[in-house]
Structure 1
Amino acid sequence: MKEERLVKRRVVPVVILTVLTLLFTFLMAIRNTMPLDEVVVLFFLDLIFLAVFIYFLEEERLLKQLPTEECNDFKSIAVVYGLGLVAFYISSYLPDYSSFSFCFAAAMAVVANREMALSTGIFLNLLAAYTQNWDIHVLMASVLLLLLGTMLALAGKEKHLHLWVQFISFFGTIVIVASCYYAQDFIIKGRVFVLAAVTGAVNLLFLEILTRSLEPEVQRTGEEHYLELLKDNYPLVRSIRRFSEMDYSHALRVSEISGECARKLGLKENLCRAAGFYYRIGRMEGEPYTENGVLLAQNACFPEELIQILREYNGELMAISTRESAIVHMVDKVVTKLDLLDKETFSTTWNQDMVIYQTLNENSATGIYDESGLSMNQFLTIRDFLVKGDHLFDSDNRE
């Protein structure tokens, strides 16, 4: 199975980016009564930029340079980009030096990265400058605000830098606007300082909101998102059930027990539930199971830490590297062993306990968990929890 590059969840945002860029160019051109031939030329320039930008976007995704895997479907980036276009269009009705470059760059740096914030910001500034006949000093101020927003966005989340970031965002804006205005006419007016102060206050407020709300949302590990991947109507859940009711039942049990084990140790419960459910997803495509499972997960835009656990399936291609991965492996091995044995074998709880002890001890003895960070005490805690948790392995539910 080959990785599908044209995944709907990524293609749709890219198409939206393209349409919005062309629409923005058209509206800016119409607003300034540009001739048709110039509009066509701008469209070609848009397409060149978009080709490079989309290539860069996909490259950053493959190199895992985006802040979270939730950005890998490009939805967050498309939303920020679209709002940025709206802001740039609104600013065309405002006085010179009323730039939203700072806000756009800060938001893009958070949901994507600084390189993407700079590349998109510079392009939009050049496009706005051309269509509105900006003076070079206005363009210079807007680009400097773009750089300021890009640099301060990620620094704002550092508590020891927070006050300095606020100070620089406000007074830096005032200095940039006032200096560029003075360089343009060699005169300064009181209204310029008012405009600069208002712009600085807007930038400061936006950055404060961004660092307090949007940044934590983007940086979250995806624990809530994992629950979405386990809903009955999720496409891959339905696919597994259609493929095999037995595999579906196995996946549900591994998911539930893995989540309980993770909660016992205070680890990422929802990650373990999702990883437990999709641990054997590669079986739908056949051998090699691990590679095919990873490709299915990548095509579905799963979070990277979930994909990493699937890469470590049974420790075949990569060593088990996290405690969550170790838990899922332990539970999968135990559930698989219990599924293979006849119900009569478990006529007594003692037989089931012995199977769990033997399965886990044999796996541990191979050293498969040595690089996972799982301590011996944690291993014993999970083993005892599985042995004593009679409700976890209800023989009546086993097929």
Structure 2
Amino acid sequence: MKPKETINLYRVISLLVIALVTFGVMGGLCAKSHLYPDEWLSMFFLTLIFLLVCIFELEYERKQKGISANTQTTFIRLSVTYTVSGGLIYAISYLPEFYRPVMIPVILLTAVSNSMVAVSFGLFFDLVLALTVGGSFYALAAYMMLTMLAAVLAQALKEKKYRMGVSLLTFFFSLMIPELFSYLSTKEMQKYSLLYAFGTAFLTFLTAAFLFHRLLHEADQEIENHLLDIVSEDYSEVKALKDFSMVEYRHAVKVSDIACRCAKEVGYRANLCLAGGFYYRMGRWIGEPYIKNAVNKAESLCFPAELISILAEYYGEEQLPSSPESALVHMVDAVVIRLEAMEQNVGQSVWNRDIVIYQTVNDFSSSEIYDHSGMSMNQFLKIREFLAKEELLR
């Protein structure tokens, strides 16, 4: 039976929190500016249109694996970060018009989603600020330019080697752009303007240099912990597999264990291989169509996106392995299946395990199934040698 995607309560709550925060920020800024009732109504409909578009975008990105390393934890993290960003937007509305650090919410939101989502939220914040407590075309232009720059730079911040250089760029842009647009607006230098500009630029720099990577690290660690949780003995799907078939359970444990050990040998993500090895045959536990059912089931259980990709690349039937972890799990499962089959058909004394392992791995390699996985030849040889020596295969 084909599993249907279930409505995830955490995702629904997260979207509701985003909606409430959005209306809350809009209402707070409108009240602060003492807008007339017709202006309140106009802002309400503007906010409603924005929310409909953004919720559609979030769901579309989720379906396309654009933001979710894990649909449950990612949306919780996004809603929390959005709440902080909304509070920040209201707080900075008290600063002078041109010296509001609008780059900070965009940088934070990029860390927990992607640049497209961050730009969408950032542009809405810019628009609401300009329509309520701004009013200057030059201020809106400055906000929008800073928002676009923040999204571009935040993407580069995900590469650790660029962190300090990009952080310095955020400092420079958030210092100079407000000054330039302020001068274009008034044709004179404002008193204390450099002090305000330096303060907001320094806060933006700290966000880019330190807080951004803190959020990324927490997200990565959360995924690693989740991968361990879903293979623990008390996890519901592990218990269900035991009830379904002890033969399948023992096979899953063996593949999982060997794949994890091998991953550590060659420097791959061990926890991803641990979970990938265990759930690699999930589709066969459910029924045909195996791959589609496995992917649907994994998505309904909020498995990390990298693990879902491994399940979608099962034996390269629909998609070839696109990561070294996926190739490794496939290799281990194929070897274990081959050895288990030979143990049932012939006596152990009349065949050589090492030869079977070498032949199995070499056959798949020559079929070019691993060509797009990113596995190097040196890593392939190390994995082959490790499998030949692995005690669990004996």
Shorter-chain TM range is 0.7 to 0.9
Higher relative CO (Cα under 8 Å, sequence separation at least 6) belongs to 2
CA distance in 2, matches of 1:189, 1:376: 63
Does residue 14 (structure 1) correspond to residue 15 (structure 2)? The answer is yes
Structure 2 partner of 1:24: 25
CA distance in 1, matches of 2:173, 2:8: 42
Structure 1 partner of 2:69: 69
Of 271-280 and 376-385, more deviation after overlay is shown by 376-385
Q: Give 1:172's aligned amino acid.
A: F
Instruction: Tell me, yes or no, if the aligned pair for 1:262 and 1:268 is still in contact at 8 Å.
Output: yes
Instruction: Tell me, yes or no, if the aligned pair for 2:335 and 2:357 is still in contact at 8 Å.
Output: yes
Alignment map for 1:316-327 (pairs within 5 Å): 316-327=317-328
Q: Give 1:184's aligned amino acid.
A: S
Deviation at 1:85, TM superposition (A): 0.3
Q: Give 1:104's aligned amino acid.
A: P
Instruction: Tell me, yes or no, if the aligned pair for 1:87 and 1:100 is still in contact at 8 Å.
Output: no
Instruction: Note the alpha carbon deviations across 1:347-380, whole angstroms, 9 max, x for none.
Output: x7x57x7357436624643657633156777666
Q: Structure 1 residues 326, 212: CA separation in 2 closer, same or farther (over 3 Å shift)?
A: closer
Alignment map for 1:306-345 (pairs within 5 Å): 306-336=307-337
Q: Give 2:197's aligned amino acid.
A: A
Which TM-score applies when normalising by structure 2?
0.82
Structure 2 partner of 1:280: 281
Instruction: Note the alpha carbon deviations across 1:76-113, whole angstroms, 9 max, x for none.
Output: 33232221101011112333334131111222233333
Instruction: Note the alpha carbon deviations across 1:201-236, whole angstroms, 9 max, x for none.
Output: 212222211454334555789545422332334443
Instruction: Note the alpha carbon deviations across 1:26-55, whole angstroms, 9 max, x for none.
Output: 333333444555434433322211111121
Q: Give 1:361's aligned amino acid.
A: Q
CA distance in 2, matches of 1:40, 1:238: 54
Of 84-93 and 219-228, more deviation after overlay is shown by 219-228
Q: Give 1:69's aligned amino acid.
A: A
Structure 1 partner of 2:359: 361
CA distance in 2, matches of 1:91, 1:344: 73
Instruction: Tell me, yes or no, if the aligned pair for 2:263 and 2:325 is still in contact at 8 Å.
Output: yes
CA distance in 2, matches of 1:377, 1:129: 57
CA distance in 2, matches of 1:364, 1:126: 59
Instruction: Tell me, yes or no, if the aligned pair for 2:276 and 2:307 is still in contact at 8 Å.
Output: yes
RMSD (Å), alpha carbons: 3.5
Instruction: Tell me, yes or no, if the aligned pair for 2:101 and 2:174 is still in contact at 8 Å.
Output: no
Of 111-120 and 314-323, more deviation after overlay is shown by 314-323
Which TM-score applies when normalising by structure 1?
0.81
Deviation at 1:238, TM superposition (A): 3.9
CA distance in 1, matches of 2:296, 2:230: 16
CA distance in 1, matches of 2:364, 2:147: 55
CA distance in 1, matches of 2:226, 2:306: 12
Instruction: Tell me, yes or no, if the aligned pair for 1:315 and 1:368 is still in contact at 8 Å.
Output: no
Q: Give 2:63's aligned amino acid.
A: L
Give unpaired runs (5+ residues) of structure 1.
Answer: 395-399
Of 35-44 and 194-203, more deviation after overlay is shown by 35-44
Deviation at 1:326, TM superposition (A): 3.6
Q: Give 1:256's aligned amino acid.
A: D
Q: Give 2:69's aligned amino acid.
A: E
Deviation at 1:317, TM superposition (A): 2.6
Instruction: Note the alpha carbon deviations across 1:326-345, whole angstroms, 9 max, x for none.
Output: 43234334444566688998
CA distance in 1, matches of 2:95, 2:282: 54
- Counterpart of 2:368 (choices 365, 370, 375) is 370
Secondary structure, aligned partner of 1:196: helix
CA distance in 2, matches of 1:160, 1:324: 24
Does residue 117 (structure 1) correspond to residue 115 (structure 2)? The answer is no
Secondary structure, aligned partner of 1:190: coil
CA distance in 2, matches of 1:144, 1:297: 40
Instruction: Tell me, yes or no, if the aligned pair for 1:255 and 1:274 is still in contact at 8 Å.
Output: yes
Q: Structure 1 residues 335, 172: CA separation in 2 closer, same or farther (over 3 Å shift)?
A: closer
CA distance in 1, matches of 2:10, 2:243: 22
Instruction: Tell me, yes or no, if the aligned pair for 1:357 and 1:383 is still in contact at 8 Å.
Output: no
Deviation at 1:381, TM superposition (A): 5.1
CA distance in 2, matches of 1:12, 1:281: 29
Structure 2 partner of 1:130: 131
Alignment map for 1:92-241 (pairs within 5 Å): 92-156=93-157, 165-210=166-211, 212-215=213-216, 222-241=223-242
Give unpaired runs (5+ residues) of structure 2.
Answer: none
Q: Structure 1 residues 393, 158: CA separation in 2 closer, same or farther (over 3 Å shift)?
A: closer
Alignment map for 1:72-91 (pairs within 5 Å): 73-91=74-92
Q: Give 1:328's aligned amino acid.
A: V
Instruction: Tell me, yes or no, if the aligned pair for 2:97 and 2:134 is still in contact at 8 Å.
Output: no
Secondary structure, aligned partner of 2:192: helix
Q: Structure 1 residues 19, 236: CA separation in 2 closer, same or farther (over 3 Å shift)?
A: farther
Deviation at 1:2, TM superposition (A): 5.7
Of 335-344 and 174-183, more deviation after overlay is shown by 335-344
CA distance in 1, matches of 2:321, 2:179: 57
Q: Give 2:249's aligned amino acid.
A: Y
Identity of aligned residues (%): 33
CA distance in 2, matches of 1:169, 1:6: 39
Secondary structure, aligned partner of 1:6: coil
CA distance in 2, matches of 1:324, 1:158: 21
Structure 1 partner of 2:262: 261
Q: Structure 1 residues 299, 180: CA separation in 2 closer, same or farther (over 3 Å shift)?
A: same
Structure 2 partner of 1:397: none
